Amino acid sequence: MLRPCVWAALLYVVVVANGAQSACSSWSKRYKQDIPGVCVCNATQCDDVSTEYLELSDRQAGLFQTPKAGDRLAYSTLDVETSSDSEADLIIDTSATYQQILGFGGAFTDATAINVYKMKEAVQQRIVDAYFSDKGLQYTIGRVPIASTDFSESVYSYNPVEDDFEMAHFSIAIDKSNETHKLEFLKRALGVSTREISLFASSWAPPPWMTRENQTENSHMKGVPGEKYWKALALYYSKFIDAYKAENVTFWAMTTQNEPIQQLLAIREWQSLRFTTQEERDFVKKDLGPLMKKNHPDLQIIIFDDQKDELLDWNASFIDAEAKEYVAGVGVHWYKNLDFLDEASGHFENLAAFHERHPDVFILPTEACEGYLVEGIGTGAGPKLLEANVTWQRGEIYARDIINDLANYAAGWTDWNMVLDTTGGPNWAKNLVDAPILVDEESGGEFYKQPMFYVMGHVAKFVPPGSHRIALNLSASAVNSTTQLLKRVDRVAFLTPEHQVVVVLSNRNAEEVVLKLRDVQKGQHLSLRLPGNAIQTLLWASPSHETSENISSPSPSAANLHSPGCFKSAAALFVGIATSLLL
């Protein structure tokens, strides 16, 4: 049951310590002003994430908090109680476990590496540390493009020699060059991380000579799967894995193709190979699957790699036993969420429905970014660094999608570009978007951590690979409550391999929410003040024994009280689709 926001309800919650954490400054030398809601880092100053949560006592909970106005990932501890006079709002049950987590991270695009290497050496290292070191977010997933994307400075492939079906001229020299710095940046990330980083590869387009159009934009393969051009494509992918292995970089997985579906009304074009679910099925079972099983038997194959709304219809590889043998997971993107028209939208129910049909296939969100729309729609286009309300809104949208994807069986979440410049590039196609970190491309002296960066940290830092989602259910009294506030509190919970319970909450209300949480295994209660427009991560130790409790709750896959909303009119739906498909 939700209670009034009064201090009397919180008498037994004591904030006992603030974690040691380097200070966050919002002052920008470039802009000669404070940038509200943004941490500005330079060679001598940058904020870190406290690690004191690793030393909690049995009677303590750690709390990390990022409000719209205030400190980022600020750490404190709470005392918890073993009894309570009132019923809890949220019930946590570690005996009810769901999907295992693969990890969280971002993409090693050319643009990311190019921007990092525009910076002074000491600033470069701070960016690497911010994402991958123990004092940063500790990313554990990395998406690596095979050859160029729109976030490259030019269009290129690894083998432009026409009809080289044996890949005798295959080369990743550009990845090793100062033109992209791609491999160098990737190795620096691997070098500072104390967690294993699972890398997966994705191709935007094959060499033009493999396509009917002899180009990389909206292209289609020559011939049909099983024939020489499709076999050459599979070999092209295998050579990429070989070339990186020779550089001591190992891949965990690869996707068959980035966004193979030609979207209605899309007006921007960049590298893209289009095929149907049936063509993908045949490519997997005739070419890619057998070759990877022979050359890289441990490599996982991820299919689809496209928008969530079309996931359930992309099923040819799952109704063909021979193709399904090679498929480990599906990749999904968020660009048709349409939450700017209906905040209940997001196609989260498609993830739950897919898991119900294919519980042995993991679901991994493989790309998302903000600033991909047009001005006047949603949060608009490109970076909005100096617009505090927009940068916060974008962070809150990240939190909503991450939490609800995870609550509906996603095994992690992958951001798009980790680092862009303040224009949203470089991007040869002028498809300028936003990223959690922007750099001062003019002086190379400072970079900007936006709210999206800290939202990623609220999950990536504290939910390592091998964690499992656990039940986080509404109590009977909360289900029957007439309040609307909980409808806009996104939430999900996990149990880590170190037996820590992790609860992530995002309050999209402007009003503060007071909650009481109960851990049924530990027999403890925790009262919590969740400020308006704030994100919190709570952590505490879990006992090794398992118990369960009968509770009244919605489906365990539900992250909030929303059911998918209906659009008010066909016109609104058309506008939403048209604008969101500008990618």
Structure tokens at 572: 């609104």
- Provide the pairing of β-strand 141-146 with 103-107: parallel
pLDDT at 183: 98
Of 528, 538, 549, give the one whose Cα is nearest residue 486.
Answer: 528
Q: Other C-beta atoms within 10 Å of 267: how many?
A: 10
pLDDT at 222: 98
User: Could you give the CA distance from residue 456 to residue 467 in angstroms, rounded to a whole number?
Assistant: 16
| Intervals of the chain under pLDDT 70 | 1-22, 83-86, 265-268, 479-483, 544-583
Q: Is 498 a catalytic residue?
A: no
Structure tokens at 450: 């936006």
Structure tokens at 310: 């079309």
The distance from CA 250 to its chain's CA centroid, rounded to whole angstroms, is: 21
Element (H, E) at 191: helix 182-192
Q: Is 249 helix (H, G, I), strand (E, B) or coil?
A: coil
Q: Is 367 a catalytic residue?
A: yes
CA distances (Å), 201 to each of 240, 305, 515, in order?
Answer: 9, 11, 42
Burial (CB count <10 Å: 0-12, 13-18, 19+), residue 168? exposed
User: Could you give the CA distance from residue 117 to residue 110 in angstroms, rounded to a whole number?
Assistant: 11
Q: Is 237 helix (H, G, I), strand (E, B) or coil?
A: helix
Q: How many Cα atoms sit within 13 Å of 343 on the Cβ side?
A: 15
Structure tokens at 254: 């690869």
User: Could you give the CA distance from residue 453 to residue 333 in angstroms, rounded to a whole number?
Assistant: 19
pLDDT at 483: 66
pLDDT at 268: 66
Cβ-contact 432, 425 below 8 angstroms: yes
Structure tokens at 472: 């986080």
Q: How many Cα atoms sit within 13 Å of 360 on the Cβ side?
A: 5
Of 397, 517, 505, give the one whose Cα is nearest residue 450.
Answer: 397
pLDDT at 578: 40
DSSP 285: I
Cβ-contact 372, 61 below 8 angstroms: no
Of 583, 576, 577, give the one whose Cα is nearest residue 272.
Answer: 583
Q: Other C-beta atoms within 10 Å of 561: how many?
A: 18
Structure tokens at 98: 């769901």
User: Could you give the CA distance from residue 507 to residue 400 in angstroms, rounded to a whole number?
Assistant: 9
Of 493, 530, 490, give the one whose Cα is nearest residue 506.
Answer: 490
Cβ-contact 414, 362 below 8 angstroms: no
User: Could you give the CA distance from residue 464 to residue 494 in angstroms, rounded to a whole number?
Assistant: 10
Q: Is the alpha carbon torsion for 33, 124, 250, 192 positive or negative? A: negative
Cβ-contact 364, 332 below 8 angstroms: yes
pLDDT at 267: 60
- Provide the pairing of β-strand 412-417 with 500-507: unpaired
User: Could you give the CA distance from residue 418 to residue 436 in angstroms, rounded to a whole number?
Assistant: 6
User: Could you give the CA distance from residue 447 to residue 445 in angstroms, rounded to a whole number?
Assistant: 7
DSSP 299: P
Q: Which listed residue (367, 370, 396, 446) is catalytic?
A: 367
